[in-house]
Amino acid sequence: MFDEIMAKFADSPSQQQVIRLLLERGFSVNDDGRVVSGGIEIPNTGIAREIGVDRRVVDTTTDAILDDDQLRPIFQNISAIPSLMDLAPVLDLTVLTVAVVDADESGLVATVTSEIASHDISIRQVISEDPEFTDNPRMYVIVDGDLPGKLLNDIRHLPFVQRISVA
């Protein structure tokens, strides 16, 4: 799906940047063509400044979204999910990032979280990026405290795991 969305903006790398930002931040587009997070409007000038494009690029992109019968329902229904990742150091949490070989494979989240649960470690949040909307999707597991080395080795050696990192 991500590739199909980006293909609609293939002739404009600047508009593709806007699309990426909307998807990454969970911003939606309302009926008036304004970028919003919930009911809060995000100024187009702020979006443009963030990605280094002119404000008119944001306007053009949101107009194109509303004019497209496939894009409109996607971008009008996106919502952001609060993440504990940035708060982890403050809350004494650990973030395990898992990159996998094939994100479309079933059971990835269940296998990793089962491994963690088998060590009696409390999982606070799991965020799994959608392979349809992200080029290199990752899974983030936020847990209480530290992860023991043996557990990290066990997860690293799962057949679908490409690499892991801990923060």
- List helix spans (H) across the chain: 2-7, 13-25, 44-51, 55-67, 71-75, 88-91, 108-117, 149-156
What confidence tier does 131 reach under pLDDT thresholds 50, 70, 90?
Answer: confident
Which of 164, 146, 166, 148 lies closest to 108 in space, CA to CA?
164
Least confident of 66-75, 77-86, 129-138: 129-138
pLDDT of residue 135: 76
pTM: 0.76
pLDDT of residue 1: 78
> Over the stretch 52-67, which tens digit does the pLDDT of each residue have?
999 999 999 999 999 9
Q: From edge to edge, which strands make up the β-sheet containing 40-41?
A: 28-29, 35-37, 40-41
What confidence tier does 81 reach under pLDDT thresholds 50, 70, 90?
Answer: confident
- CA distances 159 to 25, 99, 119, 127, Å, are 31, 12, 20, 20
The mean pLDDT of 68-92, rounded to a whole number, is 94
The domain made up of 88-166 is a member of CATH 3.30.70.260: yes
What residue ranges do the domains of the chain occupy?
A: 2-75, 88-166
Please report, rounded to a whole number, the percentage of residues in the chain having pLDDT higher than 90: 87
pLDDT of residue 55: 96
Mean pLDDT over all residues of the chain?
94
* Higher-pLDDT residue of 136, 133: 136
